[in-house]
Structures are given as C-alpha cells and as structure tokens.
C-alpha cells in the first residue's frame, strides 16, 4: 500500500497515455497476481477514495471546463470472497457510476481499486484483460441488454471469443449448454432468439453470460427491478444458489431495500456520490445511525397492514441537490432534520461515530454523520 501511495502525486488523474507505459515484466507480474487465488482473509476487492467527475464544458471550438458533475466523490469499501455487498441510494447518487468504474468501463478521476492487490485503474493490456475476465456484470433491463439478432448460444458464447483460453472452439457449444442448464433453462433453447423468452428467462440468459468466464466477482446493477413479483423471487434464489456453488462475490446495486436486505451480507448507503453509512445488514437495517438511512428505511412500504400503524414515518422533503453543485459540509444537510451550523462547515467522515466507539453495540459501524444516533425505524418483529 505504502508503495502505491507514493505514486499518487503524479498519478492523481491518470489518463490513457501514462497508463499504457507498463513494461512487460510488471505486466507479467500483474497477470500472475490477478490469476492467483486470493490470499486467505484478504479482501478480493478494495476500493479507496474513488472519485469520478464528469466535466461540464462550454463553447464549441474552444472548450472550456466550467465545472464538474461529481458523480462519485471519494468512496471506499472492501469486498470479500463469497460475500454480497449491497449498494442502495436514490437516483443520481452515483451507484451505477461505481459499477462502471469497477468494471473499468469509465476511467476514475482519482482513487484506487485494488483487485487482489493490483490497482485496476492503472492496468492496461493483458493485465486488464485478465482482470476483466474475473469481474463480470449483469444488467438491469433484460429486454435491452441482449442483442435481438443473436441467438442465445451466440450471446452466452460471445465472452469466449474474447477469452478463448476459457473454452476451446470445439468445446463451446457444450459449455453454453451447461451454462443454460446451470441457470435453469432448457439446454435445447440454444438456437432461440431473445424475443422468444420472457423477462425472467432473459435475465437468466444475462446471468449465464455473466457466468461464462468463471468470474470471481459479479456486479449486478438492478438485476430484478424489471421483473414481475412472482419471477423476482426465482431470480434471487438462482443468484443465491450460484453464489454458493461458485463462491462468487456480488456487488448488488438496487433500489428495493427489502431485496437488498435479503441478499446482502453488508450494505452501503450512498447519497450524492458519497457513502453515508456502511455495515452489516443487521447494523444498517436494525440499528441505522445516519438520518438518511433512517428516512429511507421508514419510507419502504411493508406488505403488512398491521405494521402501518406501528411504524413511524420520517418523510424527506425536497429533492436531491444537483451533484454539479453539492451543498457544503454534509451533503445531506439540506434535507436533514438534525442539521446544525456544524453540518454546513465540516464534512462528516465515514467512521464509527465517537459516541459508539469501543462499544459492542451493533450501532458501532461506520456512519458519516456528526450527530449519529440509533433509531429503530423498521419495527423489526
């Protein structure tokens, strides 16, 4: 870590040209590191102070930067093998940008993403390709994320074109059929087209494609929100079964807090590009200390009419401020009922709140609030 920190000064905003200067020796090392199994007890993915700013420009010929949309503004978390990390937050809070950064589909403005100790924001060439094989994605909308002109076999088999070492040419058809079987589809459907499948089946195809290269991490961006209620449960169960079977790590991005709780081991709550609170599912759902988490949880409809009398509702007023011009200090202060002068001046750090330090209570988890206190809003039975 110390060694990598040293580079930070000149590499704070990596661009493609300085990243490509990786000599062969280090590239080989990087590939070897990425292909090795993760060390016992080490997190498989470590994200440190990740930042992504999208520039806002003015002018046609002479483009001038007039500001930036701070989509992701310094977030850090760890992901362990076999674990599911849920990320929740309102639209525009940057959770999908985080997914793209982890996939290296967007270049980070600053910060590091360590996959097995290698900073993937600085990798390129063969090393990056090796990383990408191990981090796959399942998309939100199964209707638009599958090419309508390709058969299911071609869609699921396409990753093998890019990584032929996983499946030799003659072996591909059988591999694809195995994958169809794993996700609970009839292997004989290999020559069908996406329109011949229902939403739930299409999402299974998307999952099969994600599994094709035997990845270690799957990033799921709202994988069930486009599906019918009775089908959602089937897909969630499938994902849990696959996780056990292949020891996968999931980053599960969703807006449905109930589903996130069901599937996640740990949950991070994002607000305007920052992590507001992160902890185990029990810590977040039963002992939330950040006012934003408390408000989110209290607004979730519970399918139990008796619970509606028992629950207290904290209703947030107003809308999310623009990420191009976030409020000073704590970003949530404009909508917070606890906000005081301090909140406008000091940015609260994501840390275990002072008052809970050293205590065994589940409230002792990282929360970015000056006035963190526990409040049971779910009314857990």
Partner 1 sequence: MTSLEMAPANTGPDGTAPLLEVRDLHVEFKVRDAVTKAVNGVNYSVNAGETLAVLGESGSGKSVTAQAIMGILDSPPGRISKGQIFFQGQDILALAESERRKLRGAKMAMIFQDALSSLNPVLSVGYQLGEMFRAHQGMSKKDAKVKAIELMDRVRIPAAKQRVGDYPHQFSGGMRQRIMIAMALALEPDLIIADEPTTALDVTVQAQVVQAQVMDLLSELQREYNMGLILITHDLGVVADVADKIAVMYAGRIVETAPVHELYKRPAHPYTRGLLDSIPRLDQKGHELYAIKGLPPNLLQIPTGCAFNPRCNKAQDICRTDVPALVPVTEEDGTELVGRASACHFWKETIRG
The set of residues, in sequence order, having a beta carbon less than 8 Å from that of 56 and lying 6+ positions away, is 65, 66, 67, 68, 69, 324
3-state secondary structure of 4: helix
Whichever of 120 and 253 has its CB closer to partner 1, that residue is 253
* Min separation Cβ 315 and partner 1, Å: 6
Instruction: Single out the residue of 10, 21, 230, 354 in contact with partner 1 (rule: CB under 8 A).
Output: 230
Whichever of 104 and 289 has its CB closer to partner 1, that residue is 289
| Tokens at 80, concatenated | 């362990």
* Min separation Cβ 290 and partner 1, Å: 14
| Tokens at 193, concatenated | 């087209």
Does 324 bind partner 1 (CB under 8 A)? Our answer is no
Does 219 bind partner 1 (CB under 8 A)? Our answer is no
* Min separation Cβ 258 and partner 1, Å: 5
Phi and psi at residue 71, in whole multiples of 5°? Answer: -65, -45
Instruction: Single out the residue of 15, 315, 341, 358 in contact with partner 1 (rule: CB under 8 A).
Output: 315
Does 313 bind partner 1 (CB under 8 A)? Our answer is yes
Stretch that binds partner 1, among 7-15, 43-51, 64-72, 309-317 (CB under 8 A): 309-317
| Tokens at 190, concatenated | 């290999």
**Residues 250 to 289: which contact partner 1 by CB under 8 A?**
255-259, 261-263, 281, 285
Whichever of 240 and 373 has its CB closer to partner 1, that residue is 240
Q: Give the torsion sign (CA, 268, 271, 277, 282).
A: negative
**Residues 126 to 145: which contact partner 1 by CB under 8 A?**
140
Whichever of 166 and 316 has its CB closer to partner 1, that residue is 316
* Min separation Cβ 62 and partner 1, Å: 29
The set of residues, in sequence order, having a beta carbon less than 8 Å from that of 317 and lying 6+ positions away, is 335
Whichever of 166 and 236 has its CB closer to partner 1, that residue is 236
H or E element that contains 77:
strand 64-79
Stretch that binds partner 1, among 110-118, 172-180, 290-298, 352-360 (CB under 8 A): 290-298
The three-point CA angle 160-162-163 to 5° equals 60
Does 236 bind partner 1 (CB under 8 A)? Our answer is yes
Whichever of 78 and 240 has its CB closer to partner 1, that residue is 240
Instruction: Single out the residue of 232, 283, 289, 367 in contact with partner 1 (rule: CB under 8 A).
Output: 232
Nearest to 373 by CA among 286, 253, 291, 265: 291
DSSP one-letter string for 10-73: HHSS--HHHHH---HHHHHHHHHHHHSPPPTTS-SEEEEEEEEEEEEEE-SSS-EEEEEEEEEE
Instruction: Single out the residue of 49, 58, 65, 237 in contact with partner 1 (rule: CB under 8 A).
Output: 237
Does 334 bind partner 1 (CB under 8 A)? Our answer is no
d(CA 222, CA 52): 21
H or E element that contains 287:
none
* Min separation Cβ 94 and partner 1, Å: 11
* Min separation Cβ 266 and partner 1, Å: 13
DSSP one-letter string for 157-207: HHHHHH-TTTS-GGGHHHHHHHHHHHTT--GGGGG--GGGS-HHHHHHHHH
**Residues 57 to 116: which contact partner 1 by CB under 8 A?**
88-93
* Rounded alpha-carbon distances, angstroms, from residue 215 to 81, 123, 150, 199: 12, 18, 23, 24
Stretch that binds partner 1, among 9-17, 115-123, 209-217, 299-307 (CB under 8 A): 299-307
Whichever of 35 and 319 has its CB closer to partner 1, that residue is 319
d(CA 370, CA 331): 12
Encode 349-363: b = buried (16+ Cβ within 10 Å), e = exposed.
ebebbeebeeeeebb
Which residues would be at the binding site for partner 1 (CB under 8 A)?
Answer: 88-93, 140, 198, 200-201, 222, 225, 228-234, 236-237, 240, 255-259, 261-263, 281, 285, 295-308, 313, 315-316, 319-320, 378-381
């Amino acid at each position: 870590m110390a060694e990598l920190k040293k580079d930070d000064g000149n590499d704070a905003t990596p661009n493609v040209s300085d990243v490509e200067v990786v000599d062969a020796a280090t590239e080989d090392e990087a590939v070897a590191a990425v292909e090795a199994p993760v060390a016992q007890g080490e997190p498989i993915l470590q994200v440190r102070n990740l930042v992504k700013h999208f520039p806002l420009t003015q002018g046609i010929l002479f483009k001038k930067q007039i500001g930036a949309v701070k989509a992701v503004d310094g977030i850090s978390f760890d992901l362990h093998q076999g674990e599911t990390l849920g990320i929740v937050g309102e639209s525009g809070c940057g959770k999908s940008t985080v997914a793209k950064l982890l996939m290296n589909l967007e270049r980070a403005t600053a910060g590091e993403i360590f996959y097995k100790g290698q900073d993937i924001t600085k990798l390129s060439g063969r090393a990056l390709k090796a990383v990408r094989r191990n981090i796959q994605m399942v998309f939100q909308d199964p209707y638009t994320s599958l090419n309508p002109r390709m058969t299911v076999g071609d869609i699921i088999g396409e990753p093998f074109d890019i990584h032929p070492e996983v499946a030799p040419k003659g072996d591909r058809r059988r591999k694809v059929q195995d994958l169809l079987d794993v996700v609970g589809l009839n292997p004989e459907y290999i020559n069908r087209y996406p329109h011949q499948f229902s939403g739930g089946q299409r999402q299974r195809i998307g999952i099969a494609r994600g599994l094709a290269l035997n990845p270690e991490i799957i990033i799921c961006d709202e994988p069930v929100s486009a599906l019918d209620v009775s089908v959602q449960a089937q897909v969630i169960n499938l994902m849990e079964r696959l996780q056990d079977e292949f020891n996968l790590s999931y980053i599960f991005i969703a807006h449905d807090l109930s589903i996130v709780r069901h599937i996640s081991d740990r949950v991070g709550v994002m607000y305007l590009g920052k992590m507001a609170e992160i902890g185990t599912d029990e810590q977040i759902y039963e002992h939330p200390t950040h006012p934003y988490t408390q408000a989110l949880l209290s607004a979730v409809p519970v399918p139990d009419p008796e619970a509606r009398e028992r629950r207290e509702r904290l209703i947030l007023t107003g809308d999310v401020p623009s990420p191009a011009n976030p409020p000073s200090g704590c970003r949530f202060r404009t909508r917070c009922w606890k906000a005081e002068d301090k909140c406008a001046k000091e940015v609260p750090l994501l840390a275990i709140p002072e008052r809970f330090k050293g205590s065994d209570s589940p409230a002792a988890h990282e929360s970015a609030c000056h006035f963190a206190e526990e409040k049971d809003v779910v009314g857990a039975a």
